[in-house]
Each structure stands twice: as C-alpha cells, then as structure tokens.
Amino acid sequence: MDSSIALILTQDGIVNGAVYVLLALALVLVFTVTRIIFIPQGEFVAFAALTLAMLENGRFPGTVWLVLAAGLAVCVMEAGALVARHDWRYRLQVLGWNLAYPLVLWALAATIDWREAGQWGRIAFTLALIVPLGPMMFRVFFQPIAAAPVLVLLIVAVAVHVALVGLGLWMFGAEGYRTLPLWDENFLVGPLRIPGQAIWVVGASLALIVLLAQFFSRTIYGKALRATAVNRNGARLMGISPNLAGRLTLMLSAAIGAVSGILVSPITTIYYDTGFLIGLKGFVAAIIGGLAAYPAAAAGALLVGLLESFSSFWASAYKEVIVFTLIIPVLFWRSLRTHHVEEEEE
C-alpha cells in the first residue's frame, strides 16, 4: 500500500463517514428526546433516494400513497379529540397537515411532469414527501406508548422498520436505482480524483451539523428539545409538550435521513432495503457516543467510514465483520468507564 492508495481510501472513508455522521446524529437526537432506538431511520434514506429516482424516471412515487395513508391514520386516531375539542385552530391544524397536505402532494405528483422540473424541484418535492412521514409515524406508532419502557419502544421501532421495508419493496420494486449527481465535475488533486458529488456530501453534512447546532442553541424549539432530553418530567412541568417534542424530533430525523438519501444516491445504488445497513452503521457510531454525545457519535461515524474503506482494501471478505465487531470493545470500554444506571421507573 502506498500513500496515494491510502489517500484514496481516506477520501472514500470520509465520504461514507459523512453520511454515517448524519444518521448517527439523528439516532442520538431521537434517543435522547424520546428514548426510541430508532431503527427505521435508514428507511428515510432509502425512501428519499428511491422517491427521487422515481421522479427522475417519470414514474409515480409510491411514497405519495404512504403519506396519504399515514395522514389518514393520524386523522382517525385524532378523531375523538377532533369531535370533543371545540377548538377550530386545532381542528384546522390536524386536518390541514394530515389530510389536505397529502392531497396537495398527490395532486402535484399526478399533474406535474417531474422529469421537466429540474433537479432542485425534484429534491424539494422529495423532501416535502418524506419529511412529514416522521411526525406522522410518531403520532401513529409512538405517541400512544410514549411512556413505555425503552425495550417496548425498541420492539415497536423494529416492527415499524420491518413493515416499511415490505412497503418499500411494494412501492419501488426489488431493483436498485441511482439518481443524477448534483455536480458532475471531477477535480484532480495530486493522486486524488475528487468527484463533485463527494464534495456535496461532505459539504452538506457539515452545513447540516452547523444548522442543527444553531437550532439547538438559538431557537426556542431547539431549547425545548434539549430540555426534554435532559429531563423529560422537568421539561413537562415547564410546559413543554412531550408530544410536540416527539413530533418535532422525528420530523428532524426524517429530514436528516431524507437529505442523506438524496446525497448518497448518485454515488451508490440504493435498494428498497439499503437503508437498514446504512442506518445500522450510523447506529454503531451512535453507540460509540453512548447514544448521548453528539461529538463522540460524529467521530465514531467517521471512524466507521474509514475502518470500512481500509478493511475493504485489506480483507474485503471480512469488511462487515470488522465494522460490526468494533462495537464489542467500545461497549466493553464504556461499561468499565461509566456506572451502570438502572432505567428510571415511571
């Protein structure tokens, strides 16, 4: 191995790692605020990438039906409150977001020829489709059991993941897709050939991290989420609605997942079930951060990316084994360093 190969592998590792960073951050965010180990995180990645691919190919994206169905499910679950609460603002809000908005999306998907809409138009529409899935998913699956133990939440998360993978096969088919790159240029730097898309991936990840940091330190909603993460009951006493916090968190996580999917789909082929493995690697990184620390999770994600690219050079047959074995010494080290805290009883 010479230095140029090492450089190329490092570049590859950083580009992959940048996506894992985003997913690790989303997983840490969801876990700290809602205590859900959010297995379906990867599905947002795959669904966003495949929705974009469908729009590029001029096909009707199945995610439209998913949003319609999820919105309808939310309306059904809110039906009691809709009748009982004589609050027009509340009624308008629920019906607007969960019934009218999906219908508008459906109308847009059916009438516009997205092949002509330009790359940014398609990306915007993809985000408009994927992001609302987060809060809807929270309302339907997690809000009714928000106080349940972590294990129950995990099991529900696994169930949601399995259901979504099945729906993914139904909506997009078994074959993989690649989307058009945002920037089809290549830059030669010494022995390195840096594709424009790789710069996009790393740049967008960094930008998103900065945005998140600003959101959490400057805005009232960001502070509310932080407060909920620090102490759920305390935050509730201060008037922060745990349901609002949950919906907001899943909206952020869906947005992060969708952006990751849009970023990686030009450099790799995405299948309906790709999301799980990408999410799992983000999860390994999040574990390195103890599912609580953002910088450690980000560093862990870069480590996973680099480890992956170097092990694929040295021992390609054992790449996955090496990456997932990393979790064992990390857990061992963490268990020695931290005192075990029993999960709080509610």
Partner 1 sequence: MKTKKRIILGLALALGWTLAQAQVKVGVTVSATGPAASLGIPEKNTVEMLPKEMAGQKIEYLVLDDASDTTNAVNNTRKLIAENQVDVVMGSTVSPNALAMIDVVAEAKVPMISFAAGDKVISPVDEKRHWVFKTPQSDKMMTEAIVEHMVASGVKTVGFIGYSDAYGESWYQSLSEAIAAKGLQLVVNERYNRTDTSVTGQVLKIVGAKPDAVLIAGSGTPAALPQKTLKERGYAGKIYQTHGVVNPDFLRVCGRDCEGTFLPSSPVVVAPQLPDSHPAKAAGVEYFQLYESKYGKGSVTQFGSYVWDAGKLLAAALPEALAKAKPGTPEFRAALRDAIEHLKEVPAANGVYTMSPTDHLGLDHRARVMLRIESGQWKYIP
Strand partners, 193: 188
Whether 273 contacts 169, CB under 8 Å: yes
Shortest reach from residue 268's CB to partner 1, in Å: 4
Q: Cα separation of 163 and 133, whole Å? A: 14
Q: What is the rounded CA–CA span in Å between residue 69 and residue 59? A: 19
Please give the structure tokens belonging to residue 308. 């992956």
- Report the nearest approach of partner 1 to the CB of residue 226 (Å): 32
Taking the complex as a whole, the smallest distance from the CB of residue 174 to partner 1 amounts, in Å, to 3
For residue 9, the SS3 value is helix
**201 vs 254, which CB is nearer to partner 1?**
201
Contact call for residue 310 and partner 1 (CB under 8 A): yes
Two tokens, residue 33: 């605020």
Per CB under 8 A, which region of 5-13, 209-217, 224-232, 246-254 contacts partner 1? Answer: 5-13
Asked if 180 interacts with partner 1 (CB under 8 A), we say: no
Q: Under rule CB under 8 A, which residues in 258-297 are in contact with partner 1?
A: 264, 267-269, 271, 273-274, 277-278
Choose which of 174, 188, 189, 336 interacts with partner 1 (CB under 8 A): 174
State the burial class of residue 252 (Cβ atoms within 10 Å of its Cβ: 0-12, 13-18, 19+): buried
Closest CB to partner 1 among residues 4, 217: 4
Chain residues 110-149 in contact with partner 1, contact rule CB under 8 A? none
**Closest approach of Cβ 101 to partner 1, in Å?**
31
d(CA 88, CA 91): 5
Q: Indicate the SS3 state at residue 1.
A: coil
What are 187's strand-pairing partners?
194
Which residues of this protein are in contact with partner 1, per CB under 8 A? 5, 8-9, 12, 15-16, 166, 169, 174-178, 193, 264, 267-269, 271, 273-274, 277-278, 308-314, 316-320
